[in-house]
A and B are shown apart, each in its own frame.
Chain A
Amino acid sequence: MPSHDVLIIGAGLAGQRAALAAAETGASVAIMSKVHPVRSHSVAAAGGINAAISVDDDWRSHAYDTVKGSDFLGDQDAIEIMCSEAPKEVMDLEHMGVTFHRNEDGELDLRAFGGASMKRTAYVADITGQALLHVLYEQLMKHHETVERYEEWFTTSLLQDEDGRCCGVVARDVRTGRMEVLKAKNVILACGGAGQAYKPTTNGLIVTGDGIAMAYRAGAPLMDMEMVQYHPTCLVETGILITEGARGEGAHLLNAEGERFMEKSAPNKMELASRDVVSRAEQIEINEGRGVGPGGSGIFLDVTVVPRKRTLEALREIVNIGKDFAGVDITREPIMIRPGQHYIMGGVKTDVDGATSVEGLYAAGEVACVSVHGGNRLGANSLLDTLIFGRRAGEHAAARAAHMSSPSFDAGTQLRRDESELEAIIARSRDGRRVSEIKNELGETMNKHAAVFRDEAGLQGALETIGRLKEETAKAWIDDRGTVFNQDVLGALELGYMVDCAEATVLAAIERKESRGAQYRTDFPERNDEEWLKHIDISRGKDGPEISYSPVTITQWQPEERKY
């Protein structure tokens, strides 16, 4: 049975960064992913990565912008760590080979991004995530002797010993269908968010909340799950993302009257206010009948105001997206967009080293909630989050492993349980619903009731629906009876993960009776620091989810009114 000091689940930016950091200490490291690492959804991050590297910038300014962006729900100790370590991290990546674009002097060029008080976003055209991910994978190929890779392996559950310590996983080799136990002194979850619980979403089909749900089931609390980011610029039909880099380069948002409506809600930052603010402003225009396109369901993003050469050189990917997925040449005409589900600020609650409350279990990246994003994440802070806390989790887990003996426990029971669970799904009779039907209903429910604007009645209705979907999921049937690449049976497991994540999100959104960051309650439209300047934690109890609170860490910035 394979055994490692550090086993990482998920091979996007957080996972790969963790693997490299752990391997550097000499620990035995393995990284496992249900898809080939370069398919991980970090690849779709477009705009860039924030770091105060300019000589006239200061990490404290970056930290303050992040705190303000979070609507003061972010933990300031964690934000200080992220922002102060950012410049070195970006330089380390540059040295590894990331092809960051340069200014005329040959230094890293920086672009403007939402909610930032100055230009501090380093970028590679508008394929920054892809460039970072592929360069990290270059490093994994380089270090193939010290980092073992399990590519296209699906984790079915986390293993715990009698004392509840995490000591490995059960996983299925997707290619052969073989199930295996992998022992590990430490497991790092780095398998992303749960965007597919929404429909539409900017997230890829693989982003199904696996890590969030597995940690929750293992007893780790989830935090800030109500905080779901809607990105202001997604294609109306498919939800495909148009990078914030477009507005960073100067693009305008226009309503049906041709008006730059951001004047009303963010007279200073205009289109570059934080994402929650811009998405709300757009939704108000749409709701009040000033939207564009069929049914007035969209807003115009006008990139034609950006110099054409600049657009072709720095926003090439969205030129292609416009052409291929909306039939629009964005260099010549505005493109119709609207807010769309993009990111979950919440996740598995961790400390600043990525440790969860389950011993031996770490989490980093979107799966985790440190919490550096609080109520709303700033654009170009997620890549930073994955790298900083991926690295820290890798280092910390490796250090912990150094003075530990190999875990000893009976893994056979859990292996057999997982094997028979999958066999049972494959053998289910066709008297329930199809997995795909349930997934659709879940996504539409979440997008309707747990979106930009929320209220008690809608959320309670959503909770009821999710309860029913949970029961249906337990009986959902599939077609594929095979073992080789049985994506169908894995889809049934993913559906279970998504339902758990959705339930936590809706419960937390019902609980938070105020409006802060991405959570806007039309029935509680004000921010209420007196009662709600605290995190909502959700843990799995005997009879279902249990809610508790934890304090927000404030170091140097007291809550104040948020204006852009």
Chain B
Amino acid sequence: MPAEAHDRPAEQFNLRLRRYDPESGEAPYWDEHTIELEPHRSVLEAILQAKDRFDGSIGVRCSCRQAICGSCGVRVNGEPALACHTHLDAAKASAKDGVIEVEPMGNMPVLKDLIVDMDAVHWKKIQRVTPWLIAKQPVPEREYLVGKENMVDITQSMACIQCGACVSDCLAMEVDPGFIGPAALAKAYRFVGDPRDDQQDIRLKDLAEDPQGIFDCTHCFKCVEACPKDVNPMGQIMRLRRIAIDDQKIVDKNNGERHEAAFTTLVKDYGLLHEAELLPRSYGGNSWFGKFHPAAGKELLSSLPVVLKGLLRGKVNPKLALFGHKLPAADLKQVQRIYDTVEGREQRYELNLYITGYDEVEETPVPGGATSTNGGVSPAATTASGGGESPPAAPETEGSAS
């Protein structure tokens, strides 16, 4: 009950802030403060108390205090978060020594203390995806008539507050700083999924052909966990892939489309991934004969150092990699049944937190959006092209070419 939430007395919390003064010529350092607040108050309120009472020079961007302006993206105990959206008790619980550590976000240069240069990274990447509507012509006198579910659908990517939390933790970007990245690609979906946009095909072709585009994402789920608004950036990237491959039939020069096809075929045939077959099939053609194609041989050769390194470090089991995993026949059948069900649908189901897909019956499980705080995917689903309400569906296997 709310009464209990408001009744908890103030407690002391220890805060360890990463400080950096670009004018001092000195290296970044840690700065500790003890603050007093109720445990359900936010890390931002704690920083502001330290700033108000002890040291006004602590640099932190903030404004709304309610997770809508997107200013206060930081890392709390190493994980990206909005400071205003992280409760002190939770932050204390996840701290390694009971002291709540707050650092600036990653993947972006630090300007001062907790303030990073978002223009240099985040906004530059947003610019990359032509971030405005290219409206279908002629423009109607009144509103464009579009499906109800279409607008609810793109509201999920519209709900992005540009806080940079996903950019901070993107592993692909860490390896390849040129990767367009989760926030900008989620923004791209906002246009690709918008029926009023006239250049769906051009946008998709561009993002598929760019070696740092939609196929550069490695499916690590970090951005999904990082997002404080449940935008599910990786999910938006996978939707861009599905539309590019299945609807627009784009075969990209990065081999993204062929790689996905090889991946899903192998899982369908073997029940689990057959590592040794994946690479030759991705480059040489999606069949057993793929490995005899010259392109496959070339790619295999160039990948040898990585393969050897994997073997040496014990990350690859040579027997399993070469001969594939063996599933009991009954289990394999179950896997193939998933394929039959998903591929047998007339329309693709897509995950969307705004469309719950079913109504308010008490027995139904609580949709993910209402309970998860970390952007967990909801069991809700809708069809990509809108239309009527969809029944609940199991989340699709990522990369499935249904």
Contact = CB atoms under 8 A, between A and B. Distances in A.
Contacts of B152: 101, 125, 313
Contacts of B148: 101-104, 106, 109
Interface string B19-40: 0011100000000000000001
B44 to A, nearest CB: 10
B6 A237 contact: yes
Interface stretch (B55-63, B235-243, B275-283, B291-299): B55-63
Interface string B137-166: 001011111111011101100110110000
Most chain A Cβ neighbours within 10 Å, of B87, B119, B144: B144
A317 B68 contact: yes
B304 interface: no
Contact of A485 (B64, B115, B135, B154): B115
Given A205-B62, A324-B85, A482-B23, A134 B158 contact: yes
A328 interface: yes
A96 interface: yes
Contacts of A435: 56
Given A38-B70, A102-B146, A324-B373, A293 B358 contact: no
B289 interface: no
Given A39-B70, A325-B66, A484-B112, A100 B151 contact: yes
The SS class assigned to the B binding surface is loop
A264 interface: no
Interface in A59-91: 91
A39 B56 contact: no
Nearest to A87: B142
Nearest to B140: A95
A120 to B, nearest CB: 14
Given A237-B6, A293-B6, A127 B135 contact: no
Interface stretch (A272-280, A331-339, A366-374): A331-339
A323 B85 CA distance: 11
B5 A313 contact: no
Nearest to B155: A125
Contact of B6 (A142, A236, A312, A487): A236
B330 interface: no
Contact of A240 (B66, B159, B196): B66
B118 interface: yes
A43 B56 contact: no
A187 to B, nearest CB: 23
A260 interface: no
A3 interface: no
A312 B59 contact: no
A107 B145 contact: yes
Which of B59, B65, B355 is most buried by chain A, counting CB atoms within 10 A of its CB? B65
Interface residues of A, number: 86
A106 B65 contact: no
B370 interface: yes
Contacts of A241: 66
B1 A130 contact: no
A317 B85 CA distance: 13
A102 B151 contact: yes
Contacts of A307: 359-360
Nearest to A298: B2
A94 B135 CA distance: 10
Given A43-B68, A175-B111, A127 B155 contact: yes
Interface in A305-344: 307-309, 312-313, 316-317, 319-321, 323-329, 331, 333, 335-336
B56 A491 contact: yes
Contacts of A317: 68
A108 interface: yes
Interface stretch (B125-133, B171-179, B244-252): B125-133
Contacts of A323: 370-371, 373
Contacts of B150: 102
Contacts of A488: 56-57
Contacts of B147: 102, 106
Interface stretch (A351-359, A456-464, A473-481, A498-506): A473-481
A44 B133 contact: no
Nearest to A204: B63
Q: Which of A206, A307, A308 has the most CB of B within 10 A?
A: A308
Nearest to B362: A308
A331 B144 CA distance: 33
23 contacts: A35-B63, A36-B118, A38-B70, A91-B143, A94-B144, A97-B194, A99-B151, A99-B194, A100-B151, A101-B151, A127-B155, A138-B132, A141-B126, A151-B119, A298-B2, A313-B152, A313-B355, A324-B87, A327-B5, A328-B1, A328-B2, A482-B21, A485-B112
Interface of B: 1-7, 21-23, 40, 51-53, 55-57, 59, 61-71, 85, 87, 111-113, 115, 118-119, 126-127, 131-133, 135, 139, 141-148, 150-152, 154-155, 158-159, 161-162, 190, 194, 196, 353-356, 358-360, 367, 369-371, 373
- Name the 9 nearest CB pairs between A and B, nearest first: A308-B360, A97-B133, A480-B57, A436-B52, A204-B63, A106-B145, A479-B56, A327-B5, A488-B56
Interface of A: 35-36, 38-41, 43-44, 53, 91, 94-97, 99-109, 124-125, 127, 130-131, 134-135, 138-139, 141-142, 151, 175, 204-206, 236-238, 240-241, 292-294, 298, 307-309, 312-313, 316-317, 319-321, 323-329, 331, 333, 335-336, 434-436, 478-488, 491
Given A35-B63, A102-B146, A308-B360, 8 more contacts: A95-B144, A130-B158, A307-B360, A308-B359, A316-B369, A323-B373, A331-B360, A331-B370
